[in-house]
Amino acid sequence: MLTSHSITTALPTISEHFHSASGYTWIGSAYLLAAAASTPIWGKISDIFGRKPLLLVANGVFFVGSLLAAVSVSISMLIASRAIQGVGGGGLLTLVNISIGDMFSMRSRGAYYGIIGGVWALASATGPLLGGVFTEKVSWRWCFYINLPLDGVAFIIILFFLNNLDHPKTPIMAGLKAIDWLGSVTIVGGTLMLLLGLEFGGVSYPWASAIVVCLIIFGIVTMGLFFVNEWRLATYPVIPLHIFRYRSNMACLGVCFCHGYAFIGGTYFLPLYFQACLGATPLLSGVYTLAIALSLSFAGMATGIFIRKTGQYRPPIYAGFSLMVVGFGLLTNLDAHSSWAKIILYQIVTGIGIGPLFQAPLIALQSLIPPKDIGAGTATFQFVRNIGTSISVVVGGVVFQNTIQKQQPTLIASLSPARAAQLGGFNAGANVGVINSLPQDQKRVARDVFASSIRNLWIMYVIVVSIGLLVSLLISKQVLEKEHVTTKTGLEAEEEKRAEREERRRSGKGTSVPGSPIDAQAPKEEV
């Protein structure tokens, strides 16, 4: 998380360093795409080999990606390294959430997810600040070097102190044979093709171009093949499809998507607003985002405490989306001349809305699925969130660049054609530093153009979080158990789940377990 947020303030500098306008989007997108595509696989493989070994592997992958990114000599190498980072980072986020679900009762895990939310928010607060310090005072490469000692410490802690998780000691070859390789390949391939098609469309290639159309169509078809494989062919499916059979489960995933789509967009494009419209340095743009990061942190931790004390997860979801609607609505009022009182207040409202929605929908989903599916369910939740964040960065970049491009005549009329070209369309995000070198009159025009273009992003996020609020009304109320149910992992546990699926299929009873939470979709009274 520290890397994801520290890199936002360094993106313009990195793009200029490598003379790559496309780098501004791809440095962020590569990480998110890789994290999104790999997330379900981490969850399933951890069901086979156990959580701890996979946490160590994910940690190692992230370490390698960070090291390669730090020593990158070209934009292509940096983007590839960010993809490796994304694979490891996606695994770490997913496996930590799964491990908390394995170790604590449904009622108490809210507090621990709140702590994770606090750590996330701490990274949100310190990341842009550190990114600005490194970029201005040392080198942008330290945005990646900083991960190496932190990763090393985490590896040691996991190796020697994380001993209260089920460890099945699955033989390597037997475990590898049990992996749903066809499902893994199709979900990774389908996700990447679909998201790459969206990434290329309207930016690198026209939307009607063969490359974009083929990527999107083949991505959708491949994802369809994935679901057919999970339904009929997979012995141990990556994602058990009964998760999608119930309204409340789908609502939890829909809420997760809308939240991921909106929150990453806000944190990703706010530094752009500060640097382009207010003339902030990378360091100052990191300082300016503290308001949203700190408010997000406090709201997330408070939500964990609330859920633990009350056993209710729906009120934080409703309150979070309501405040996000208000917060992003307020952000649409920001321009190149906004007062600091407005800027800080609007961020605080938005952050308080974002915070509760990291853990409350996850706890809701976990309460609605059988305990044995906690790994696959949590991985699916994180997969949906990663898809939301990936699409948000891509679509947000397209909306911003297309809006800037439409205002190209305004830039040409006030600036030289060469300067207008630097600040127009696809080049806009990578060349914000040019604005500060312009004469005062031209600078004012350029900042106004950027502010109006960024405003369209906030409008888009208002629409998305409004949809999320409506979808959240479909989540049913469940009793959060105070007693912990141990989750078994390994091939024996996987075989038990397979046998249950086959028995239910033969008896025509569907995919739910009688008496389990997945059957209890009607609201229950709290105890």
pLDDT class for 527, splitting at 50, 70, 90? very low
Q: How many residues does the chain have?
A: 527
Report the range out of 294-303, 353-362, 434-443 with the highest average pLDDT. Answer: 353-362
Give the contacts of 424 (CB within 8 A, at least 6 positions apart).
404, 405, 408, 411
Residue range 147-187, pLDDT digits in tens: 999 999 999 999 998 887 777 888 989 989 999 999 999 99
pLDDT band at 423 (very low <50, low <70, confident <90, very high): confident
- Which amino acid is it at 55? L
Q: Would you call 480 helix, strand, or coil by DSSP? A: coil
Dihedral sign, Cα of residue 373, residue 378, residue 379, residue 384: positive
Q: Is the pLDDT of residue 81 over 90?
A: yes
Lowest mean pLDDT among 88-102, 376-390, 397-411: 397-411
Residues 88, 56 contacting (CB under 8 angstroms): no
- Residue 138: how many CB atoms within 10 A of its CB? 11
Question: Where in the sequence is the domain holding 174, given as residue range(s)?
Answer: 2-179+236-477+497-507
Establish if 520 belongs to a structural domain.
no
Look up residue 509 and give its DSSP letter. -
- pLDDT value for 469: 97
Q: Looking at residue 517, what is its pLDDT?
A: 44
Res. 519: pLDDT tops 50: no
Where residue 301 falls among pLDDT bands split at 50, 70, 90? Answer: confident
Looking at the predicted structure, is the pLDDT value of residue 6 above 50? yes
pLDDT of residue 394: 78
Establish if 519 belongs to a structural domain.
no
| Arithmetic mean of pLDDT over the chain | 84
pLDDT of residue 509: 55
pLDDT for the residue numbered 513: 38
C-alpha span between 55 and 62 (Å, rounded)? 11
d(CA 253, CA 53): 27
Residues near 214 by beta carbon (within 8 Å), at least 6 away in sequence: 197
Cα pseudo-dihedral 362, 363, 369, 374, rounded to 10: 70
Taking residues 238-264, report their average pLDDT.
Answer: 91
Within a domain: 348: yes
User: Is the pTM higher than 0.85?
Assistant: no
Q: Report the pLDDT value the prediction gives residue 2, as an integer from 0 to 100.
A: 65
Integer Cα distance of 134 and 151 in angstroms: 19
> What integer pLDDT is reported at residue 327 of this predicted model?
96
Look-up of token digits 């997108």? 29
425 pLDDT more than 70: no
Q: Which residues contact 392 (CB under 8 A, 6 or more apart)?
A: 260, 261, 262, 264, 265, 268
Q: Comparing 384 with 285, which gets the higher pLDDT?
A: 384
Q: Domain holding 129: CATH number?
A: 1.20.1250.20
Residue 101, both tokens: 């679900």
Amino acid 511: pLDDT: 44
Tokens 């806000």: give the residue: 266
Lowest mean pLDDT among 144-148, 343-347, 492-496: 492-496
Q: Is residue 229 part of a domain?
A: no
Least confident of 101-110, 120-129, 200-209, 248-257: 120-129
Ranking 63-77, 213-227, 230-244 by mean pLDDT, the lowest is 230-244
Range from 12-26, 349-363, 369-383 carrying the lowest mean pLDDT: 12-26
Asked if the structure places residue 289 within a domain, the reply is yes
Q: How sure is the predictor about 430, in pLDDT bands with cuts at 50, 70 and 90?
A: low
- Both structure tokens of 381: 């939740």
Answer whether 343's CB lies under 8 Å from 295's CB. Answer: no
- Does the pLDDT at position 522 exceed 60? no
Query: What are the backbone dihedrals phi and psi of residue 201, each rounded to the nearest 5 degrees, phi first?
Result: -60, 125
Question: Is 93 contained in some domain?
Answer: yes
* pLDDT above 60: residue 510: no
The single-letter code of the amino acid at 167 is H
Distance between terminal CA atoms of the chain? Answer: 36
Q: What is the number of domains present in the chain?
A: 1
Let me know if residue 201 belongs to a domain: no
Whole-angstrom distance, CA of residue 300 vs CA of residue 124: 12
Domain assignment present for residue 215? The answer is no
Range of weakest confidence among 357-371, 395-409, 504-518: 504-518
Look at residue 520 in the predicted model and tell me its pLDDT. 42
